[in-house]
Structures are given as structure tokens and as C-alpha cells.
Amino acid sequence: MCEKGKKGKGDCCGESKGARVGCCKVESVVTVDARGQMVLPKEIRQRAGIKAGDKLAVISCEKGNKVHCISLVKASDYAKMVKDVLGPLMKDIMG
């Protein structure tokens, strides 16, 4: 349970910057403006190799009728992932 006022490693309830859950990590918190736009921090764009003009696939995970998770994947990487999964599957189906 959180203790108000205590700072340091593993800040309150994993909400601090850098908190990890499995392979995922909270890198930053962004704000969505009135037009639905947000800015990905420069450091994250650099580490992910995202440049101006790159296309990102928006992937959502739902439970019931509510979206619980939104992920961004470079569209070129997503296409390769789909081919890697569907390619062998299609070979099996087509015989």
C-alpha cells in the first residue's frame, strides 16, 4: 500500500516514471489535446527509431466493451510480424 510522502525507488503504486510491469515500462505521461493529438517524447522516438512521416499501427486490447491498453507499433514492423505469423499458417493451409 502507498505511503504518502515517501519518495525514492519504486515510488507510489508503480505510477512513477520508469515503473516496470513485465517487459513494459511507464516512460512518460502525455496529454491529449482538444484535437486528439499528443506528442511522443523525443527520447522515446529516438530509441524506437521513429522519424517524421513514419506510420504507426494503433493496436488496442479490449475487455468487454472497454479498451484497456493501446500500443503503437511501427507499421513496417507490424507488417513483418503479420507475415511471420500468417506466412507459415498459409503454407500449411495451402498444402
Q: Are 70 and 62 in contact (CB under 8 A)?
A: no
Give tens-digit pLDDT for 14-68. Answer: 444 566 667 778 889 999 999 999 999 999 999 999 999 999 999 898 989 999 8
CA distances (Å), origin 4, targets 8, 14, 19, 26, 84 = 12, 13, 17, 20, 47
Looking at residue 6, its pLDDT comes to 42
Q: Residue 86 pLDDT > 60, yes or no? A: yes
- Closest listed residue to residue 16, CA positions, set 2, 26, 3: 26
Looking at residue 68, its pLDDT comes to 86
Please tell me whether residue 48 adopts helix, strand or coil conformation. Answer: helix
Q: Residue 8 pLDDT > 50, yes or no? A: no
Q: Residue 9 pLDDT > 60, yes or no? A: no
Question: What is the pTM for the complete model shown?
Answer: 0.60
- Closest listed residue to residue 40, CA positions, set 49, 28, 55: 28
Beta strands 56-63 and 66-74: pairing type?
Answer: antiparallel
Looking at residue 19, its pLDDT comes to 66
